[in-house]
Amino acid sequence: MIKILISILIVSILTGCVPKTFGVGRLAYLENIKPNFNCIKLSLEDIDGVSNVHYQIEEGGRPITWHGLEAPNKVHRFEYSFKGIYNANLFFITDYENNTDYHHSMSAVDYEKGQELTTSFYPFMKNLELLIEKRCGLPNFREDIIPFCDYDLCN
């Protein structure tokens, strides 16, 4: 069975039948900042079109330093729906020094569908970041964000 799956994968790659994903996202690195995750959850819930907000903490990797094995990273994941978009991904990773990585993205397999989703989703991402910056004690949060996008409407 595994040989069949591997064969299908190889044929798909060679014939160009592997679907390409298209997406939009925003990333930031916050040095010595640990956000108020309850405030972020409440901010997310206050935006029109957002529903089914769920917040969970997961254990990430354990950094190795000169001091030895450090405490595991914490992944603060927010699952939600926005106007029927279910493939959004919002999470923060905090390390043992309270440095935080911010990740927020959405992806689609179909280019046209992805462009349509991006048209409504990208402004929502920016509005959420403004709300987080104002409400949750993260001054200049938006200045540190690096956008990435496969579409024209992200500018």
6: in domain: no
Q: Show the DSSP H helices in the chain as ranges.
A: 2-15, 37-45, 111-135
Q: What is the pLDDT of residue 84?
A: 74
Give just the sign of the alpha carbon dihedral 37, 38, 43, 46. positive
What total of structural domains would you count in the chain?
1
7: in domain: no
Domain range for 136: 22-154
The tally of CA atoms less than 13 A away on the side-chain side of residue 23 is 18
For the chain, which residues score pLDDT lower than 50? 3-5, 7, 9, 11, 14-15
134: in domain: yes
Number of CB atoms found within 10 A of residue 78's CB: 20
pTM score > 0.85 for this model? no
4: in domain: no
Q: Is the Cβ–Cβ distance between 74 and 96 less than 8 Å? A: no
65: in domain: yes
Q: What is the pLDDT of residue 7?
A: 47
99 is written with which tokens?
């440095």
5: in domain: no
98: in domain: yes
57: in domain: yes
Region of residue 4 (left: phi > 0; alpha: psi -120 to 50; beta: else):
alpha
Q: What is the pLDDT of residue 5?
A: 46
Q: What is the pLDDT of residue 4?
A: 47
